[in-house]
Amino acid sequence: MPSGSSHPLLLSPIRVGPLKLRNRIVLPAMDQNVCEDGLITDRLVAHYEERSRGGAGLLVLETSAVSYPHGATARHQPALSHDGVVPGLRRLGEAVHAHGSKLVVQANHHGRISGVDTAEGRPCLVPSLPLPDTDPMSIMADTTTDELVAMSALTDGKMPTYAEATVEDLADVVRKFADAAVRIQAAGLDGLEVHAGHGYLLDTFLSPIWNKRTDRYGGSEENRARLMVEVVEAVRERCGSDFAILVRLNGRDNALEGGITPDLAARYAAVAANAGADAIHVTAYSSITGGPGFTEGPLPWRPCQYEDLARTVKAAVDVPVIAVGRIRPDDGERILADGGADLIAMGRQLLADPDLPNRLAAGRPDLVRPCINCFVCVAQNFWSAAPVCAVNAQLGHQGWSKPTPASPSRHVVVVGGGPGGMEAARVAAERGHKVTLLERASHLGGTARFSSLTTPLNGDLVRWMAAALAEAGVEVRTATTATPAMVAALRPGAVVVATGAVRDRPNTPGVNLPHVLSGDDLRSLLTGEGGDSNHRSGPLVRLALAVARILGITTDMGRVRSLSRRWMPIGKRVVVVGGGLVGTELAEFLADRGRSVTVLEEGGNLATEMAHPRRWRTLHEARAHGVDFRTRTHLVAVTADEVIARTVMADEDDGNEVRFGADSVLLASSVQPDSSLAEAIRTGIGDDVEVHVVGDAGSVGYIEGAIRSGYEVGASL
């Protein structure tokens, strides 16, 4: 471990069974969905090679089907069911081993969630029938029609049927796991992770609520664990002691009473270790996917969400324990320091920044690109697409060529310091261009910085981007309003315009009243930057805000967020017009601070710009705080103390009039791209200088779209 590291325990070596790992950072299995007929592709090799090059100690290949296509959840996952998979696995292992990581394969039979079985007309294997009620229709709430159609395509639109597994079926499953392990070993890989969690076949046998059998595979804890034990023992017998066996277990089922509890999980972990497992990987699950279920398990929304589950298992076993669940490096170091786990899995964080381990080793945690927990990546799994990342434009595009050194180097002027502009500037500078960035506000970040008021992780992203710009040598000029003449005077070889979107006020009676605020007005009130909002606040409010600005409070979104729990220039009754991403997050934020909030949305769906798992959680939290969402409701007028609206009927021009008391009205709709400055610069600078538009100035795509377009332009200059 290099001296000066701020995370010495994370970067310390550890032995897991026969494996000596260079550090304790684990990439857990996360589906990439780029295999063809179960075979490893170049894209998949590139993905895992990049994470090995980035320095992780252990990589776990995404969940792979031991009986493919039987018992598989998707056609684009890796297969382990025939010898034809060995050459691809060998090629993958050689690429990973070349950079120092160890590689194990997560082996699985998907049981009741075997989507390929459903598509091909086969029943899904389960321990017993009937199944417990998991409210399968819950997934339809707060999900768009397009998303539901995409999800149904995984099973060709068919509904699953189920068959109670016979003893012969289970013997075949055990044999398939052992055969898969032999192929993995023959390919030169380092081990296998038995997936006994997340509602798949082995998990349902472990669960008292799913397993109602009365034979040797059901009833007692020992019998329910028998299938898992037989799999572990069969793999050990076939592969010997030089082959690592990990077992992934649910530490808890968050949805159904009578399911797996932390204490039961700890006992199962001890059984797995006694059977021959070299490590236990502790996760969690929710048998009800819709609503908040998915973000309870398997994909957490709170930091360190499964930490206590790992601690419970750790106390029960003598083999290493892997903790997972939105763990960042500082938290991982803390968990290791106080004995809560032995290794730390960082899934989405290593998707966001594959170089995280190397950056920690270099003593530069400030250069770790943060995951912002937006669920954009994992949303793609619901329709078996390759994951993408809001903050790492290269994820899912491993086929893209790496940005090449600039030839010739030019002076690139970037106008706008939001995510799109900063990404374009960073990539262009790293390629060797001289880059000057002009930002009108006194701070970088644009709308993303202000949105950190409601979504603090966006502030982490802005801080990382600012550090990355400094590292790349970008000249940043804040408090600078760019004009075509100013840009021309800098003699650029290329110009990138990233000035964001505009938010027009609707042409509705009353929207210019003092208590009606646009997003820019609210930003100006709280930070002193953006729109002209002084006329919308009384003298005492203006005085309080002036003092806050003098004291520097409004320059720190964290302090503003903290103080907003005690005071905000917003009335008690708030109507938010627009139920998209911005309106929904504002509504939850305000309701959490004691406001009575109503959201009016003209369409039939809310927050459609969010990845649907994040939307499910955000809307659940907002409703828990008392937010009243009204879809298909059109703003008609605003008075001094009311909002007048009309319901939008599918078969009529007008519906019923509805009225809502309102002390404050926030306009969170009518967002439009604004490329007017780009056009003016093109006119003033001539045809010899290329002018590009990125981010919301060209197309409203929020952080994901802004960073992707900024990356593409920065890489192409």
* Eight-state DSSP code of residue 374: -
453 forms beta bridges with none
14-382 maps to CATH 3.40.50.970: no
- Cα gap 537→527, rounded to integer Å: 14
pLDDT band at 42 (very low <50, low <70, confident <90, very high): very high
Looking at domain 411-503+673-716, its CATH architecture is 3-Layer(aba) Sandwich (3.40)
Return the exposure string of 611-631: e unless at least 16 CB atoms fall within 10 Å of the residue's CB, then b.
Answer: bbbbbbbbbbbbbebebebbe
pLDDT at 403 over 90: no
Best CA proximity match to 309, nearest among 289, 333, 298: 298
pLDDT of residue 565: 87
Delimiting residues of CATH 3.50.50.60 domain(s) in the chain = 570-669
Helix (H, G, I), strand (E, B) or coil at 335: helix
For residue 289, how far is the Cα from the chain centroid? 16
pLDDT of residue 523: 77
241 forms beta bridges with none
Output the pTM of the full model.
0.94
Q: Do the beta carbons of residue 112 and residue 261 sit within 8 Å?
A: no
pLDDT of residue 5: 76
Delimiting residues of CATH 3.40.50.720 domain(s) in the chain = 411-503+673-716
- Using CA atoms, how far residue 569 sits from 30, 448, 654, in Å, is 44, 21, 34
pLDDT of residue 289: 72
What would the pLDDT profile of 336-346 be if each residue is shown by its tens digit? 999 999 999 99
- Cα gap 253→271, rounded to integer Å: 19
Rg (CA), the chain: 27
pLDDT of residue 557: 80
Residues 6+ apart with CB under 8 A from 688: none
Q: What is the DSSP string of 640-659?
A: SSEEEEEE--TTSS---EEE
Percent of the chain topping pLDDT 70: 94
pLDDT of residue 501: 86
Question: Average of pLDDT values for 311-327?
Answer: 98
Residue 671 token pair: 């967002």
pLDDT band at 540 (very low <50, low <70, confident <90, very high): very low
Q: Do the beta carbons of residue 431 and residue 418 sit within 8 Å?
A: no
Best CA proximity match to 501, nearest among 246, 703, 711, 239: 703
Instruction: Give all strands (DSSP E) within 594-689, no chain letters.
Output: 596-601, 628-631, 633-638, 642-647, 657-661, 664-667, 671-673
One-letter amino acid for residue 584 of the chain: T
What would the pLDDT profile of 69-122 be if each residue is shown by its tens digit? 999 999 999 999 999 999 999 999 999 999 999 999 999 999 999 999 999 999
Return the exposure string of 79-102: e unless at least 16 CB atoms fall within 10 Å of the residue's CB, then b.
Answer: bbbeeebbebbbbbbebbbeeebb
pLDDT at 530 over 70: no
Instruction: Give all strands (DSSP E) within 268-374, no chain letters.
Output: 279-285, 321-323, 343-345
Residue 350 token pair: 């290593």
- Cα gap 671→582, rounded to integer Å: 10
Best CA proximity match to 349, nearest among 326, 330, 331, 374: 326
Mean residue pLDDT across the chain: 93
pLDDT of residue 635: 96
Q: Domain 570-669 maps to which CATH number in 1.10.1760.20, 3.50.50.60, 3.20.20.70, 3.90.78.10?
A: 3.50.50.60
What would the pLDDT profile of 337-382 be if each residue is shown by its tens digit? 999 999 999 999 999 999 999 999 999 999 999 999 999 999 999 9
Helix (H, G, I), strand (E, B) or coil at 269: helix
One-letter amino acid for residue 694 of the chain: V
Delimiting residues of CATH 3.20.20.70 domain(s) in the chain = 14-382
Residue 58 token pair: 């252990």
Question: Average of pLDDT values for 528-543?
Answer: 52
pLDDT of residue 562: 84
Own/partner pairs for 78-84, CB < 8 Å, 24+ apart? 78/35, 78/38, 78/39, 78/40, 78/44, 78/105, 79/35, 79/37, 79/38, 79/39, 80/105, 80/107, 80/176, 80/179, 80/180, 80/183, 80/184, 81/38, 81/176, 81/179, 81/180, 83/183, 84/39
Q: Do the beta carbons of residue 490 and residue 413 sit within 8 Å?
A: yes
Residue 151 token pair: 């999800």
Residue 434, H or E segment: strand 434-438
Residue 93 token pair: 């292992």
Q: In what order do the strands lie in the sheet with 690-693?
A: 475-477, 434-438, 411-415, 494-497, 690-693
- Cα gap 606→609, rounded to integer Å: 9
- Using CA atoms, how far residue 127 sits from 73, 266, 272, 578, in Å, is 18, 22, 19, 47
pLDDT of residue 291: 77
Lowest-pLDDT range of 162-176, 382-396, 528-542, 684-698: 528-542
517 forms beta bridges with 666
Return the exposure string of 593-608: e unless at least 16 CB atoms fall within 10 Å of the residue's CB, then b.
Answer: bebbbbbbbbeebbbb
495 forms beta bridges with 413, 691
Highest mean pLDDT, choosing among 314-318, 667-671, 674-678, 680-684? 314-318
- Cα gap 479→65, rounded to integer Å: 56
Residue 366 token pair: 């400030």
pLDDT of residue 550: 47
pLDDT of residue 1: 47
